[in-house]
Structure 1
Amino acid sequence: MKTLEYAKKFGIDGYLVVLLATVGLSFVLPARETFADFVKQAAYFAVALLFLYMARN
């Protein structure tokens, strides 16, 4: 059985893998100082765009 099929058997899809990889990366390489401010603003902007997109549909 292929690895992806085995993972799907337990409800693990590509989105979950990317989400866990992002969390792991942020744990290993946290944003600090000026870059942290940029990441914070980018996250607010991304969430705002997501809500606007959801409101449109």
Structure 2
Amino acid sequence: MPRDIAEQAKEAQETDPEFLSRVVLYGMTRRSIYRHLRDQNHAQDSQPLRERP
């Protein structure tokens, strides 16, 4: 992690830990949705064309 971002995260943790927690949760949720959609797309791409909806 870049040093300036680490410093900002440390400051946020000290001043508003709930905010930092929400930011982390938001990022993890986005990553989970992205992975789900990516996996769904890969599964769809592996189906023969005539079987696709």
TM-score, structure 2 normalization:
0.48
> Relative contact order (alpha carbons < 8 A, sep ≥ 6): 1 or 2 greater?
2
Structure number having the greater helix percentage? 2
TM score, norm. by length of structure 1 = 0.46
Pair member with larger Rg: 2
